[in-house]
Structure 1
């Protein structure tokens, strides 16, 4: 409860008022901290607040775990879709299309026939 109070807007305001800054870090000594007045609700309300907070944090933890599981499933789904795409299983294949091996061989042949550009040193401009 103390940490929650100190991190509240009221607690932060008090800390900024009474903390001393040393090398960019806020410092509160024990005597200053003892002077901090913390308004507390009745014990029954504190218990109820604690239950609500615990329940909320537990739900957040469950949601975080569920999101992690969903990310893993999405990764596997992406890999599966890519694998199917490379196998040609995503769309119906046209029987009139040439096989990939024939296409690759045709590309190799065309590249072999094409003249290779000359590579040489460039002259330095004077």
Structure 2
């Protein structure tokens, strides 16, 4: 009878572990959308008032890009059919 009792105890333990694992999987699936939502709302890190506004950063990047001459890339020569 001791063996049967131990096996039943272990099966009950396995059932509890399985339920906890399923709950953890469900929470993990919800974590990514929640994390993305917080990121888009700017809630992941404290906001620094000294940070440059995005519009200013984009203007600065556009100006820097305009300063650099565009590199002309030529086409690869076409080989004649052999």
TM-score bracket for the superposition, by shorter chain length: 0.5 to 0.7
Structure with more strand by fraction: 1
What is the CA deviation profile of residues 73-106 of structure 1, one whole-angstrom value per residue up to 9, with x for unaligned ones? Answer: 2332343234323432222212122222332233
Partner of residue 67, structure 1? 21
Taking structure 2 as the reference length, the TM-score comes to 0.63
Q: Which has the higher contact order (CA 8 A, sep 6+)?
A: 1
Matched, 1:93 2:47: yes
In structure 2, runs of 5+ residues without a counterpart are: none
Distance 2:39 2:46 in 1: 11
Taking structure 1 as the reference length, the TM-score comes to 0.47
Distance 2:35 2:58 in 1: 23
Partner of residue 25, structure 1? none
Q: Which one has a bigger Cα radius of gyration?
A: 1
In structure 1, runs of 5+ residues without a counterpart are: 1-44
